[in-house]
Structure 1
Amino acid sequence: RLNFNTAEGEVEIDPATGIPKKLKGKFTFAEPSESGREKGLLPISDALMACSKFLLDERKSIWILVDRLDVIFANDKKAEALALRALFRVYGEMHAMPAIKLKIFLRDDIWRDITRESGFREASHLIKKVSISWEKIPLANLLI
């Protein structure tokens, strides 16, 4: 289980190519104190909204893809359900940021587990579902 309040990152943009090389950032997952704000701490929601606005102004968008969630909590079904519910709540809130698209790839059995066993009222508002079937013929076509 992860237990932290802030996250930092760093990326640099190469001026010749425009390819990201370095970008510094520090985000807090809690509301920062006044002194924290003076030091440059931002709530993650503020940072995402600013990114979305910038991207819209530039007529660009980004996709954040999330996959292999079954591996993260392989031995703790309760933590998995809590984390996935939180992720899907974030997914629901991301609609306020049209330039940032969150795409979540999740096995059907895991979705059934988090929605059926202990209930997930918000689930009906979140589903934009496309199921991928990994059967013999489609897999053979993919390989060919």
Structure 2
Amino acid sequence: MTPRTERPTMTNAHLQDLANQAADAIRSLNHATQNAKGELNYPSDAYTLVASLAQLTQRLPQSFEQISRFLGALAKTGAVTADHGAPDDHLAEARSGLASAVLIAQTLTDRLDRAHSALGPLGYDIGSE
């Protein structure tokens, strides 16, 4: 008999920490890309950065879809309450918002891919300094 491997459980705090870390990383990136910081020097810097941001947006839909599936399963249990209105209405609205977020993230990825492609042929002319 094969021993059963326990999967680590992810607590709500762990999930929140991961989301907060992602938000903090974007905040730090926003500060680092300010003109005064001087961290963007060459077209290749933008090229690499846009590629990484496209990768980030490409991964977001999976999270949104998984949260939506969780909410759908939760709705089936009938164990959800709401401070006002019908819980099913709130769950449906949340799932609708997440479905829209999936489409927006996919569109954002497409636009970032276009920007990345446009940046590909660019170089820096050291003679212009």
TM-score with structure 1 setting the length: 0.25
Greater relative contact order, per chain length (Cα 8 Å cut-off, separation 6+)? 2
Larger radius of gyration: 2
Instruction: Judging by fraction of residues, say which structure has more helix.
Output: 2
TM-score with structure 2 setting the length: 0.27
Instruction: Judging by fraction of residues, say which structure has more strand.
Output: 1
